[in-house]
Amino acid sequence: MRLLVISNDVTPGFGVPVAAPGLRAAGLAEGLRAHGIDVAVTVPTGVIDPLFPKGQPHPPPGTSIVDPRSLMAYIREGTFDTVVFTNANMTPHLEAHDGVRYVFDMFAPKLLEALASSSPGRSWVEMAHEKERGVALADEIWVNGRRKLGYALGWLLRPAVDDLRMNEFSKPSLIGHDLMAHVQVVEMPVPLPAGIDNQPVRLTSTAPLNLGVAGYTQQWSALRAVHPVHQLVADEHTLHALLPSHWGGRLEDAPTNLLPAKTVTYEGPLGYAEFARWIQSMDAMVDVFAPSAERHFAMITRSAVALRLGVPVLHGVDSEIADIIRECDAGWVIDPDDLDAWHRALDELTDPDTVVAKRRGARRASEERFAPRAALSNVARTLIDRT
């Protein structure tokens, strides 16, 4: 079979920073290829052109840079059996086509991200229409973790979805059918950069520890929300912070003045391989956040990448990642307000036996949950059986 993955962001291999959507698309492609499926990937010109103003770069193997307005022509010419689109950004440019089965990879709760943000940038109503169109067009929905099964069901039940299915896409009504038969769980496949495995550089943990903080500074994870934790870490060990310019946030949005005075900061930007090496130079990554509906559903990418690289994570209590850390004993799940628990975790990080066990757990999560071949095994079998 021939399958297309439509990414709405830059993927690894261009030598520039990547974020969750690009990693997701690349991981899906790598995992499906590992099971013998012929996979192509597209990246939109609207993302590439600003990054490379002097001219489009040579894309990674199997990847094409495509103007979204030309996606349907690309799909027709490529004779694809299945088209997977990550997030709903490209849905205004997609339409039903005979012989093509669409899969909506609803990997992130984008509407909740927008509503939780103090500056969403785009109208949530516009985003909702895109999502409804994606759900209506899709013959199948993939969700990034079991917590999102109910989230997907909520979108399937929206009246606009059935109306679009029948009147624009000439697809049968979903009413009266088992809606959840349309949904599969496909967890986060994290590709490793070339030449990097899941063995961290730091093989011993002796005080002071190197603890890293990275990622966007959205309202739910802004530094001001967990400042006491960062101060506690910096008092006892060395806190390293990758500033938001790496991931596309604006420096003025980041309350960097609230970082402890001794914090070692990095302004980036870092390509994916550099980012991976930076994480692997840490004893553990710190990823805590204020609880919210968005975080409850989120498969938080920066922590997924750390675990894929074999680095334990000190993580908030309520997310898809928190469930995996508990299951694999791959780090610590801690309430950001429980400073006593933070003290205990930091003490455990200097205990050799505990560190060995947590790193073993991180490698287990890496191989069983985030390795692309493992993450795509079930859905690849379904796709192959269908042909």
The predicted-structure confidence for 44-59, as pLDDT tens digits, reads as follows 999 999 889 899 899 9
Percentage of residues of the chain with pLDDT beyond 70 = 88
Residues 310 and 199 sit within 8 Å (Cβ to Cβ): yes
Domain extent listing, the chain: 2-189+372-386, 210-370
Confidence check: pLDDT of 206 > 80: no
pLDDT more than 90, % of the chain: 60
Does domain 2-189+372-386 sit in CATH 3.40.50.2000? yes
Q: Which of 136-150, 223-237, 279-293 has the lowest mean pLDDT?
A: 223-237
Mean pLDDT of 219-248: 68
pTM of the model: 0.93
Residues 6+ apart with CB under 8 A from 71: 6, 42, 90, 93, 94
pLDDT band of residue 269 (cuts 50, 70, 90) is: confident
Confidence at residue 231, expressed as pLDDT on a 0 to 100 scale: 81
| pLDDT one-digit tens code per residue, 19-46 | 899 999 999 999 999 999 999 999 999 9
Fold identical between 2-189+372-386 and 210-370?
A: yes
Q: Which of 213-222, 232-241, 316-325 has the highest mean pLDDT?
A: 316-325
Q: Which residue has the higher pLDDT, 295 or 327?
A: 327
- Give the residue with greater pLDDT, 27 vs 263: 27
- CA dist., res. 263 & res. 230, Å (int): 9
Predicted confidence band of residue 247 (pLDDT cuts 50, 70, 90): very low
Please, what sign has the CA dihedral across residues 143, 23, 3, 110?
A: positive
CA-based end-to-end distance of the chain: 7
* pLDDT of res. 117: 60
CATH architecture assigned to 210-370: 3-Layer(aba) Sandwich (3.40)
More confident residue, 78 or 246: 78
Please name the helix (run of DSSP H) or strand (run of DSSP E) that holds residue 331, with its range, or none: strand 331-333
